[in-house]
Amino acid sequence: EDQVTQSPEALRLQEGESSSLNCSYTVSGLRGLFWYRQDPGKGPEFLFTLYSAGEEKEKERLKATLTKKESFLHITAPKPEDSATYLCAVQAGRGSTLGRLYFGRGTQLTVWP
């Protein structure tokens, strides 16, 4: 069965302290891996899509990378406003899983001043 595991469950960083979040997946033919940010009381907000191993994407202090088994979300010099839950999701290849996104349970990031 397709699975997505995120680690750590929670991460506390001091402002400026860089770190990485991990998303490991087992899926039958990856079509795409997605990173979302979710603030309390709001819907997930799209950040990145990665399609193939070796691909990297950046947005401000965030950089997402992808290998054949996992993705990392690197946060460089985080600020308190980066505090949120970061969700990883994968979309499998054609077949019975058409269109489905399989989500991990998220990493709750807290950045304190």
Partner 1 sequence: DTAVSQTPKYLVTQMGNDKSIKCEQNLGHDTMYWYKQDSKKFLKIMFSYNNKELIINETVPNRFSPKSPDKAHLNLHINSLELGDSAVYFCASSQEGPFLEQETQYFGPGTRLLVL
Among 12, 15, 16, 45, indicate the residue that binds partner 1 (CB under 8 A).
Answer: 45
Reduce the DSSP state of residue 45 to 3 states and report it: strand
Interaction with partner 1 in 52-91: which residues (CB under 8 A)?
Answer: 85, 87, 89, 91
Q: How far is CA 91 from the centre of its chain?
A: 13
Where does this chain touch partner 1 (CB under 8 A) — which range of 11-19, 28-36, 53-61, 64-72? 28-36
Strands 3-7 and 19-26: antiparallel
CA dist 74 and 20 (Å) reads 4
Q: Which two tokens stand for residue 36?
A: 């979302």
Residues at the contact surface with partner 1, assessed by CB under 8 A? 31-32, 34, 36, 38, 41-46, 49, 51, 85, 87, 89, 91, 94, 98-101, 103, 105-106
